[in-house]
Amino acid sequence: MRATALAAGVMCVLGLAATAASAQERWSVDFEGGAAIPGYNDVRIPGDTGTLFSFTDDLSAETEFFWRLRGSVRLTSRQSLSVLIAPLSIDSSGTFSHPVDFAGTTFAPGVPVTGLYVFNSYRFTWRYQIVEGERWRFGLGATGKIRDAETRLESAGAAASKTNVGFVPLVNFLLQRRFSNGVVLEFSGDALAAPQGRAEDVFAGVLIPAGRNLSLKAGYRLLEGGADNDEVYTFAAVHYLAVGAVVSF
């Protein structure tokens, strides 16, 4: 439901941007999907008094299908604006070997428990292409990220959840190397670190031309980061095996 509403917002924002753009504007739609493989996922809620546990070590986390969608418009020959919708939900299950105090609720050892880790991300990005050549492209920009997160535990006799919606500023970057056959190697992402936490969403892969306005993509993506404060301690890494397509017009 939230992703549907954000999709409508994507079209509205890009539509307004396109109205202000010159006749040289260029649109693109980037769809990506594949396997989201949980790495480490450590949680303690509240951040100072809860019990530290792992969704992947104390419980067993599942590999999930993921998708993300980015719509972009070129404002000038070197400036672009994009909007990204990137939902993520990972289920886990198992039993704890020790009592776990989570969000004011105690989960007993040896009792089957299910976990849910949600980290939906909605981002608005402006980027300036510093290098715009036939072989090399390099750009830097700024991303405003809306984080819609939830951490949940449930068992037969207990249930608790912690939700968090917040804004995170990030640095955006893009580095591409184009070869004579049209194949493009790409390294791109959003990242920033601060004393309160860090966030990285980085892609390394290849784009292969499959038509005049179509490229197929494949590669590896790493989503990593978290926060450490009185309210929450949560750090996680997710490894993505990604495939997709980019349509430009």
For residues 34 and 243, the answer to whether their CB atoms sit within 8 Å is yes
Tell me the residue range of the domain where 39 lies.
Answer: 2-248
CATH number where 69 lies? 2.40.128
pLDDT of residue 60: 98
pLDDT of residue 61: 98
Q: What does the angle CA 34 – CA 40 – CA 46 come to, to the nearest 5 degrees? A: 120
| Cα-Cα-Cα-Cα dihedral sign, residues 154, 160, 166, 171 | negative
Q: How many domains does the chain have?
A: 1
Record the pTM: 0.89
For residues 168 and 194, the answer to whether their CB atoms sit within 8 Å is no
Cα–Cα distance measured from residue 73 to residue 32, given in angstroms and rounded to the nearest whole number: 18
241 burial level (CB within 10 Å; 0-12, 13-18, 19+): middle
Kindly list the distances between the CA atom of residue 82 and the CA atoms of 41, 79, 123, 133, in Å, as whole numbers in the listed order: 29, 10, 8, 21
What's the gap between Cα 96 and its chain centre?
29
Name the DSSP letter for residue 63.
P
* Per-block mean pLDDT, blocks of 10 residues, the chain (249 long): 46 44 69 98 97 98 98 96 98 98 97 98 98 97 98 95 96 98 98 94 98 96 96 97 97
